[in-house]
Structure 1
Amino acid sequence: MFKVKILQLFDSFVLNTVGPYYRRIGKSLLSQGNDMLGSEASDDRLVQCLRQVQTNGQTPQISDALFTAPNSVLVGNVILKQNSSVWYGATLRADQNAITVGKNALIQDNVYVKATQPVTLGNNSYVGPNSNLQGCLIGDDAFIGMGSTIKQGASVQGIVAAGSLVPEGTQIKQGEVWAGSPAKYLRDITPQELQILREYKQELLELAQVHGEETSKNFRQVVIDTDERLIKQSRGTEEEALQKIAELNFPLEYEDEEFIEQRVFMKQQPPMFMDSENLFSQQDQYEQDLSQFSENMQKYSEDYQIYEEAKKYFESNPQAKANQFQPKNEIPDEKPWSRKY
């Protein structure tokens, strides 16, 4: 515990003190180098993360979001509420007015939202890929199909089909389905369709959590995950079985566990005695061991065949005596156990 505290203090010191100090030194050296080069100076500079671009003193608030893609662009007064997500290539420009994204809202890939007027996306709302929103209101549980355009002043509480154009000032009520360019009322949504949309949104929320965890990993976590993946690829099936049994707390007898561990050992260790024929064989180690007793197995097979023939004979002739049956191959008398055949 004490060592962990020391490591945490060291990491904090490096992050808050040493790192910024070296960055200032680097910037100073870069500036001096450019002054020395004059007209030959390089204008290379680091581009900041576009997920948080400050304008007019307003900075995007994304701490409560479930997932914001690394290449998404959030400018100005953008507020992402709990479990909301902004996917890859989406742009939210709130440099003129505010953009508020409600809880569990989903803004899909390459969506463009411009706040010519204040924009509000309600809770559990969905905006499909390649859609364009301008100064509009998207209500709770609303669904905007992919490639749709919602003009300024429009209010969408229901469903907009893919590729539709909703003109300025249009009012779409909850439960209505609109489609076309310009969009017009089509029909009311059915309960089955509504359930399908809810399940689809839930699947995307779960997927957003996975993407959020992966994109938020630091360099050290990525390296550790890579090592674990390589170890898993090189691990045998028996080792995976042991690990899964341990994770599930599956009741396992000592003999069973010893058997599995022995198979793991036999897979990893070559047999002590192996002839040239088995050296390059891809058979299981136990099969290779059995192949060393081929003569014994052949004799056992012959004896078992004699026994099967005798058994069939006496079953078909219940009145026959044992000495009436003569096997095909004569068995030596020095083996008393064979006389019953």
Structure 2
Amino acid sequence: MKNSRPGVTIIPIHGKSPQIHESAFVAPGSVLVGDVEIGAEASIWYNCVLRADVSRIVIGERSNIQDGTVVHCDPERPGSPDGSPCIIGDDVLIGHMAMVHGCIIEDRGFVGLGAIAMNNSRIGSDAMLAAGAMLTENKIMEPGQLWAGRPAKFLRDLPEPAIAGMRLGVAHYVENARHHSVAVDAADIS
């Protein structure tokens, strides 16, 4: 695990420091605080905040957190003795300016641009939370479903071409992160 990245603010707190796989890309302007774990070939894009000061945040392999997104969690509280960590699986796409808070996103889940996923909600594998949608606390999206609206509601099951398109998006972000990593190194950002 590598803990130093140019232009990235890394802040240990409560004895926990972000752990970043050496193959992950973390863009300048990002802020990582506390108990954050970022997996292999994952990408955290420009000006994201991942604040794990009261619980943990896990970003799986090849997942991407796009520009301006905020990821946070909740501490233990009455009725929630384990708190609400934010657990993001492998091959997850999270669109620009999303707010992901104390939820679980299973492998290959998708969070659209500007969408919100709240405490103890769950986005199933191959499921899509539409752009601008708000998945409220404790709501469960089953695998392969599309939910939209504020509050988000089930619309339909996703067709196979949409699921295949999400997988292509993951591959695109893995490759694009490699290009940005080279560009950031060449820019000599400190």
Give the TM-score range, shorter chain.
0.7 to 0.9
Deviation of residue 120 (structure 1)?
A: 0.5
Q: Which amino acid aligns with 1:118?
A: P
Query: For residue 172 of structure 2, what is the amino acid of its counterpart?
Result: E
**Cα offset for 1:62?**
1.2
Distance 2:23 2:100 in 1: 20
Residue type of the alignment partner of 1:135: G
How big is each residue's C-alpha offset from its partner over 1:225-246, in whole Å with a ceiling of 9 and x where there is no partner? Answer: xxxxxxxxxxxxxxxxxxxxxx
Of the candidates 83, 98, 106, which is equivalent to residue 139 of structure 1? 106
Shift in Å at residue 65 of structure 1?
A: 4.3
What corresponds to 1:205 in structure 2? 174
Query: Structure 2 counterpart of 1:153, which letter?
Result: N
Equivalent of 2:36, from 78, 90, 93?
78
Deviations 1:93-114 (A, max 9, x none): 0011110000000100000011
1: distance between equivalents of 2:27 and 2:140?
31
Deviation at 1:66, TM superposition (A): 2.3
- 1:63, 1:103 → 2: CA distance? 9
Unaligned runs of 5+ residues in structure 2 are 1-5, 75-83
Give the CA deviation at 1:212: 1.2
Report what 2:143 is aligned to: 174
Higher-Rg structure is: 1
Matched, 1:160 2:118: no
Contact 1:148-1:163 at 8 Å conserved across structures: yes
Higher strand share: 2
Partner of 2:14: 56
Q: Size of the alignment, in residue pairs? A: 173
Measured after TM superposition, the shift of residue 215 of structure 1 is 1.3
Q: Percent identity?
A: 31
Q: Which residue number corresponds to residue 61 of structure 2? A: 103
Once the two structures are superposed, what CA deviation does each residue of 1:235-266 show, in whole Å capped at 9, x if it has no partner?
Answer: xxxxxxxxxxxxxxxxxxxxxxxxxxxxxxxx
Q: Is the Cα contact below 8 Å between 1:51 and 1:68 reproduced in 2? A: no
* Higher helix fraction (1 or 2): 1
83-92 or 194-203: bigger deviation: 194-203
- Note closer, same or farther for the CA distance 1:135–1:50 as it changes in structure 2 (3 Å cut): same
Distance (whole Å) between structure 2 residues aligned to residue 218 and residue 180 of structure 1 = 41
Aligned positions of 1:2-41 closer than 5 A: none
**Counterparts of residues 37-48 of structure 1 (less than 5 Å):** none
Aligned to 2:53, the other structure's residue is in SS state: strand
What per-residue deviation string (whole Å, max 9, x for no partner) do you get for residues 275-321 of structure 1?
Answer: xxxxxxxxxxxxxxxxxxxxxxxxxxxxxxxxxxxxxxxxxxxxxxx
Relative contact order higher in (CA < 8 Å, ≥ 6 apart):
2
2:118 maps to which residue?
151
- Regions of 4+ moved over 2 Å: 48-51, 63-66, 216-219
CA contact (8 A) 1:66 1:212 kept: no
Q: Structure 1: any 5+ residue segments left out of the alignment? A: 1-47, 223-341
Cα distance in 1, alignment partners of residues 123 and 166 from structure 2: 16
Q: What is the letter of the counterpart of residue 121 of structure 2?
A: A
Q: Give TM-score, length-normalised by structure 1.
A: 0.49
Q: C-alpha distance in 2, partners of 1:51/1:64?
A: 16
Contact 1:133 1:150 in 2 (8 A): yes
**What's the C-alpha RMSD, in Å, of the aligned pairs?**
1.7
Q: CA deviation at 1:50?
A: 4.4
Q: Secondary structure at the match of 1:198?
A: helix
Q: Distance in 2 between matches of 1:216 and 1:96?
A: 32
Look up the match of 2:153: 184
2: CA distance, partners of 1:84 / 1:75: 17
